[in-house]
Amino acid sequence: MQNWVCEGENVFDNGRRVVVTGLGAITPCGNTVQENWDNIKSGNSGIDLIKAFDTSEFSSRIGGEVKNFDPLDYIDRKEAKRMDRFVHFALAASQEAMISFEGKDIDGENIATIIGSGIGGIITFEKQHENLLSKGPGKISPFYIPMMISDMASGLVSIRYGLKGPNFCTVSACASGGNAIATSFMLIKNGYSDAALTGGTEGTISPMALGGFCSMKALSTRNDDPKTASRPFDVGRDGFVMSEGAGVVLLEELEHAKARGAEIFAELSGVGMSGDAYHMTSPVPGGAGAVHAMEMALRDAGLEPEEIDYINAHGTSTLYNDRAESEAIRSVFGERDSLHVSSTKSSTGHLLGAAAGIEFVVCVKALLEQTIPPTANLKDVDPECQVNHVTGRAAEKEMNHILSNSFGFGGHNVSLLLSKF
């Protein structure tokens, strides 16, 4: 069978360019893009002991909870009661991403809404299951189903702004937000949409979610020192830290953005998506799926490996993921000092389906400020994770192209390539 991607040739290019004109972020590190960036750039941690419920019987008692967040700052009380927490986050981040439209009429006919979520309304699911067991089926909320289903973030965001283009949710575990952004890029690139509000959202700090990941032994149990628990690539890492929040961005076709006088922050110049076809939870040894995704993004953008200045790694702080990704990076890019790597999950924890969205926002800020955020807590690099890590403090560097990686259970791989505009 002939390979549909010709080596050295960008078969996707049809002249339409996709740019970033809006950014929104809600994470454990802050409730605005700037607050997040300031903390992540400084290597500050948003991780702490979980306060939402009693964790005394759990092996991991830490997480990245969003702080000082009131959905009523974004939604009226009646609406908020009919939405799960993951939708609250999506609406808040979308409001920040859509700020350039504030006070203006929106022609939403050709604007897509694609917001990924790996788990959706699990908090609602748990609460309504408790109602079923304790009070019977007659006490299940009539809003249970629409509050729980993962597509409701994209649905309600599109309703809020009157966005009538393609509207759906991508569900691919921790690659969900990346798949949403990549799909939005392709829709704009191929003329199906002129713009897209896209990214990821997750609200999973709940007993069932925490318990499930604890049973898998996937989470850090560094309960005595939450701030240093997320330590990607470090020899002492013992699992990821589950977090909540949303990262949403506004993408536009270049001429569409220019026509409305939008501020352009960066260009999304290429995307790559692949599957491991290997295992339910573990990445394929050697990172072949990640290699495929990164190489596809490079081809899509028409760039050579030596042109990439920084990689925001998926870097979850788990044993096999960090090693497979490091090997994949070395396979594609070699071992060159000019390529820097860091994982900002060291500050935010792992936002699961929202991770790619917030990390995309971080990469845009890195390009704008020509600054690479560090991998916090990385003190002793695993010998099998040797790449050019940025540790300790942020590094100032002239950058033109940044790659952001996101991978998910089930073997989902996404690489997004951002370029200076």
Neighbour count for residue 161 (Cβ, 10 Å): 16
Written as one letter, the residue type at 6 is: C
> What tokens does 209 get?
């979610």
The C-alpha R_g of the chain, in whole angstroms, comes to 20
C-alpha distances in Å from residue 209, one per residue of 63, 141, 144: 11, 21, 18
Is 340 noted as a catalytic residue in this protein? no
Nearest to 311 by CA among 189, 405, 187: 405
Is 88 noted as a catalytic residue in this protein? no
**Interatomic CA distance for residues 291 and 229, integer angstroms:** 28
Residue in 88, 256, 292, 314 annotated catalytic = 314
What is the DSSP secondary structure assignment for residue 92, as one 8-state letter? H
* Residues 6+ away with beta carbon under 8 Å from 161: 94, 98, 101, 106, 108, 111, 113, 197
**Interatomic CA distance for residues 239 and 402, integer angstroms:** 26
Which phi-psi region, left, alpha or beta, contains residue 114 (left: φ > 0; alpha: ψ -120 to 50)? beta
**Interatomic CA distance for residues 329 and 286, integer angstroms:** 10
Residue in 174, 214, 363, 385 annotated catalytic = 174
**Interatomic CA distance for residues 341 and 325, integer angstroms:** 11
> What tokens does 189 get?
């690139």
What is the DSSP secondary structure assignment for residue 373, as one 8-state letter? P
Is 6 noted as a catalytic residue in this protein? no
**Interatomic CA distance for residues 220 and 232, integer angstroms:** 11
Q: How far apart are the first and last CA of the chain?
A: 38
**Interatomic CA distance for residues 361 and 379, integer angstroms:** 26
**Interatomic CA distance for residues 282 and 174, integer angstroms:** 13
Residue in 88, 256, 292, 350 annotated catalytic = 350
The answer to whether residues 199 and 116 touch, using CB atoms and an 8 Å cutoff, is: yes
Nearest to 315 by CA among 410, 246, 270, 381: 381
Among all residues, which ones are annotated catalytic? Answer: 174, 314, 350
